């Protein structure tokens, strides 16, 4: 049996009932990586030695019996944006090519405290900016459903590694859609949490008022379980409020009778792929069969949200990436004076998209342009937030497509940055509003996976997880696997 | 709107980036297209609207000003490109006269 194909809950059951060991489970994942990752290129670093020694330790604990976490002994991949003590962390950038963090991100520490087995670090767009993983300094990841296509991004390595059964689940980050969109493209389940739900301490910063961390898995029940272990307040991240962490795994078992679903007309637009539209509408119909009520709503700021995002995100990132100056860590070109160290280290260390965003952000924040761009973008953000808050007075969840199209060809959009940005139109509004969102597979268009986006109120992850889980109890789309040899 | 090469050079210098001639040409076109797109923000009436810089409504989180040993001070310093004796080394920025 290929143990790597199991879900998290299946793997936990098998370990608990001693049908197999963590060493066997881990070996199967590593075997799959060896077999396929020369084609998929989901990983930037594979930690075979660390994974095997952690698996052995977990087996000893499991043998002893009591008090074992459901995450114990289970292989997980981690986006290469999370600092992992002693294990190279690159953010897919040349500027951090040789960076070995001396500490763990809080989310990683939590996994380790639960005896998780970290198999490796996955590919992404450099500093989590892009939508295809093509902006990685180490080359693109390939979509397991069609190797000529992108896996989405920026957590494309993570979603590809789950889709190709190279691990049981993964951790990613979502700033403007970076978990939801690649989950949709790769046919897996992915959760963007509400802003502040999961500590971001030790995760390389992209845009600090938008960054969130979340799980990517083979089904929604697994996401619910993982979230319970990584969510909560952290004294090291002051944006995490003291809001109670729900018992997600219990909440998702409640049925959907009377659930109110909002369908925003602005998300069903001309130019959307017909196959995407049909798959999403079929899914909505299924929810109606399960007892939910569908209500037409309007989110009028949707279009302006994208413009606002593409000022706020670059503005914040231009500030956050100022720390890469060749002094304290990372690439340092020291041929001349201090000014030249800054210029040479940054110019040689950052890739094209990182530089582009730094330039946009610097321009938007510079004297004379601040009011027209940054200030106006922050005001529009308020209106976007109000849009959602108003809608959620009438509905419990909002359903939309994750992206207007299924996965596109590698190279198709990379030369036109604006076309790439426009792809984010359905995911960035929720990021600006700080609400939570889920991507679940709901069918195929041209043989490629299509995801449904389920948006929920701030800190109400249990409701969107419940909707996703109840849908998966009654459908099989999430069980479809790519054919890979 | 078209960003001139001079404007691109000015932004690059503010951002401490040194661009090649080809990059300057490329960014001038691409940034202009992106700025043209975001200019649609000007059509939104935001009179009297407050700015949102964070969404959770949290106000200052405070803690006691106590020293907590990280235990990894040496390791943190040792990731610096040049270091020694527990210090990060940088080139001289003032000349003795």
A442-453 pLDDT, tens digit each: 999 999 999 999
Domain-located, residue B62: no
Question: Which residues on chain A are in Cβ contact (under 8 Å) with B94?
Answer: none
What's residue B57's pLDDT?
Answer: 84
Domain-located, residue B21: yes
Q: Do A103 and A85 touch, CB atoms closer than 8 A?
A: yes
Domain-located, residue B37: yes
Out of A196, A327, A379, name the one closest to residue B51 (CB): A379
First-last CA distance in chain B: 49
Distance separating alpha carbons of residues A86 and A54, to the nearest angstrom: 14
**CB under 8 Å, gap of 24 or more: what pairs does A415-419 form?**
A417/A353, A417/A356, A417/B30, A417/B33, A417/B34, A418/B30, A418/B33, A418/B34, A418/B37
Give the strand pairing for A117-122 and A293-297: unpaired
- Residue of A171, A334, A293, A61 lying closest to B82 (CA atoms): A334
Instruction: For tokens 């936990």, name the residue.
Output: A12
Domain-located, residue B72: no
Phi then psi for residue A93, to 5 deg, are -120, 145
Question: Which residues on chain A are in Cβ contact (under 8 Å) with B41?
Answer: 304, 307-308, 311, 373, 376-377, 380
Question: Which residues on chain B are in Cβ contact (under 8 Å) with A355?
Answer: 17, 19, 23, 27
Distance separating alpha carbons of residues A316 and A152, to the nearest angstrom: 23
Band of residue B94 on the pLDDT scale cut at 50, 70, 90: confident
Distance separating alpha carbons of residues A14 and A73, to the nearest angstrom: 11
Closest-CA residue in chain B for A336? Answer: B91
Distance separating alpha carbons of residues A361 and A318, to the nearest angstrom: 5
From the CB of residue A340, how many other CB atoms can be counted at a distance below 10 Å? 15
Helix (H) or strand (E) holding A71: none
Whether the predicted pLDDT of A1 surpasses 80? no
Domain-located, residue B84: no
A241 to chain B, any CB pair closer than 8 A? The answer is yes
Domain-located, residue B15: yes
Between A91 and A335, the higher pLDDT residue: A91
Distance separating alpha carbons of residues A476 and A234, to the nearest angstrom: 37
Work out the widest C-alpha separation in chain A, in whole angstroms.
69
Domain-located, residue B22: yes
Q: Which residues pair with A173 in a beta bridge?
A: A213
Out of B27, B49, B54, name the one closest to residue A356 (CB): B27
Q: How many domains does chain B have?
A: 1
Distance separating alpha carbons of residues A420 and B60, to the nearest angstrom: 37
CA atoms B72, B75, B81, B87: torsion sign: positive
- Residue of A155, A145, A150, A147 lying closest to A183 (CA atoms): A155
Domain-located, residue B31: yes
Helix (H) or strand (E) holding A159: helix A156-163
* CATH at residue B27: 1.10.20.60
Lowest mean pLDDT segment, chosen from A8-12, A237-241, A273-277, A481-485: A481-485
What's the pLDDT tens digit per position in A242-282? 999 999 999 999 999 999 999 999 999 888 999 999 999 99
What's residue A285's pLDDT?
Answer: 98
A326 to chain B, any CB pair closer than 8 A? The answer is yes
What's residue B1's pLDDT?
Answer: 67
Out of A301, A307, A376, name the one closest to residue B37 (CB): A307
What's residue A286's pLDDT?
Answer: 98
What's the pLDDT tens digit per position in A464-473? 999 999 999 9
Out of A239, A341, A373, name the one closest to residue B58 (CB): A239
Burial of A156: CB neighbours in 10 Å, binned 0-12, 13-18, 19+: buried
Structural domains of chain A ordered from first start: 3-254 (3.90.1300.10)
Question: Which residues on chain A are in Cβ contact (under 8 Å) with B51?
Answer: 375, 378-379, 381-382
Our CA-based measurement puts residue A33 at a distance from the nearest CA of chain B, in whole angstroms, of 30
Determine whether the interchain pair A356/B79 forms a contact, defined as Cβ–Cβ distance below 8 Å: no
Distance separating alpha carbons of residues A117 and A280, to the nearest angstrom: 35
Closest-CA residue in chain A for B49? Answer: A379
Q: Residue A433 CA to chain centroid, in angstroms?
A: 17
Give the strand pairing for A43-46 and A117-122: antiparallel
| A120 token code pair | 């490796």
Distance separating alpha carbons of residues A215 and A258, to the nearest angstrom: 28
Q: Which domain, by its residues, includes B16?
A: 5-42
What's residue B91's pLDDT?
Answer: 85
Q: Do A45 and A87 touch, CB atoms closer than 8 A?
A: yes
CA atoms A11, A16, A19, A24: torsion sign: positive
Determine whether the interchain pair A327/B16 forms a contact, defined as Cβ–Cβ distance below 8 Å: no
Q: Which residues pair with A261 in a beta bridge?
A: A294, A397
Out of A322, A346, A380, name the one closest to residue B44 (CB): A380
Sheet holding A189-192, edge to edge: A43-46, A117-122, A75-79, A169-174, A212-217, A189-192, A436-445, A448-456, A397-401, A260-264, A293-297
What's the pLDDT tens digit per position in A209-252? 999 999 999 999 999 999 999 999 999 999 999 999 999 999 99
């Amino acid at each position: 049996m290929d143990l790597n194909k199991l879900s998290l809950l299946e793997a936990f059951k098998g370990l608990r009932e001693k049908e197999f060991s963590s060493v066997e489970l881990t070996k199967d994942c590593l075997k799959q990586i060896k077999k396929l990752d020369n084609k998929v290129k989901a990983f930037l670093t594979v930690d075979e030695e660390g994974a095997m020694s952690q698996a052995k330790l977990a087996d000893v604990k499991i043998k002893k019996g009591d008090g074992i976490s459901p995450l114990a002994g289970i292989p997980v991949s981690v986006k290469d944006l999370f600092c992992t003590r002693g294990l190279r962390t690159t953010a897919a950038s040349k500027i951090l090519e040789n960076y070995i963090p001396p500490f763990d991100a809080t989310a990683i520490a939590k996994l380790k405290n639960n005896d998780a087995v970290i198999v490796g670090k996955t590919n992404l767009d450099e500093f989590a900016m892009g939508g295809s993983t093509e902006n990685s300094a180490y080359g693109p990841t390939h979509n397991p459903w069609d190797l000529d296509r992108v896996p989405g991004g920026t957590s494309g390595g993570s979603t590809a590694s789950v889709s190709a059964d190279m691990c049981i689940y993964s951790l990613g980050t979502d700033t403007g859609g970076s978990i939801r969109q690649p989950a949709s493209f790769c046919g897996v389940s992915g959760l963007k949490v509400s802003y502040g739900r999961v500590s971001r301490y030790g995760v390389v910063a992209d845009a600090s008022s938008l960054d969130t961390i979340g799980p990517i898995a083979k089904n929604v029940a697994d996401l619910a379980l993982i979230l319970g272990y990584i969510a909560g307040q952290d004294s090291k991240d002051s944006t995490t409020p003291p809001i109670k962490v729900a018992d997600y795994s219990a909440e998702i078992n409640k049925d959907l009778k009377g659930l109110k679903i909002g369908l925003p007309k602005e998300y069903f637009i001309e130019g959307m792929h017909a196959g995407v539209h049909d798959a999403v509408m079929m899914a909505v119909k299924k929810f109606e069969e399960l007892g939910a009520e569908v209500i037409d709503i309007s989110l009028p700021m949707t279009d302006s949200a994208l413009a606002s995002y593409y000022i706020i995100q670059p503005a914040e990132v231009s500030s956050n990436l100022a720390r890469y100056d060749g002094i304290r860590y990372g690439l340092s070109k020291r041929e001349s004076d201090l000014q030249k160290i800054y210029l040479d280290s940054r110019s040689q260390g950052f890739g094209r998209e990182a530089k582009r965003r730094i330039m946009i952000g610097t321009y938007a924040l510079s004297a004379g342009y601040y009011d027209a761009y940054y200030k106006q973008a922050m005001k529009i953000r308020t209106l976007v937030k109000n849009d959602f808050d108003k809608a959620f007075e009438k509905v419990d969840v909002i359903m939309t497509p994750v992206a207007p199209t299924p996965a596109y060809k590698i190279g198709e959009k990379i030369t036109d940055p604006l076309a790439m940005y426009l792809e984010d139109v359905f995911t960035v509004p929720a990021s600006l509003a700080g609400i939570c969102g889920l991507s679940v597979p709901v069918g195929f268009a041209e043989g490629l996976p299509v995801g449904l986006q389920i948006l929920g109120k701030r800190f109400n992850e249990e409701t969107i997880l419940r909707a996703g889980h109840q849908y998966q109890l009654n459908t099989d789309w999430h069980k479809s696997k790519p054919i890979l040899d | 709107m078209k960003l001139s090469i001079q404007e691109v050079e000015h932004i690059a210098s503010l951002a401490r980036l040194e661009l090649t001639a080809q990059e300057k040409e490329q960014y001038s076109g691409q940034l202009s297209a992106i700025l043209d797109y975001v200019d649609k923000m000007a059509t939104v009436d935001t009179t009297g609207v407050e700015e949102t810089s964070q969404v959770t409504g949290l106000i200052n989180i405070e803690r006691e000003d106590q020293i907590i040993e990280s235990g990894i001070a040496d390791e943190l310093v040792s990731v610096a490109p040049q270091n020694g004796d527990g210090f990060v080394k940088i080139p001289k920025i003032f000349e003795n006269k």
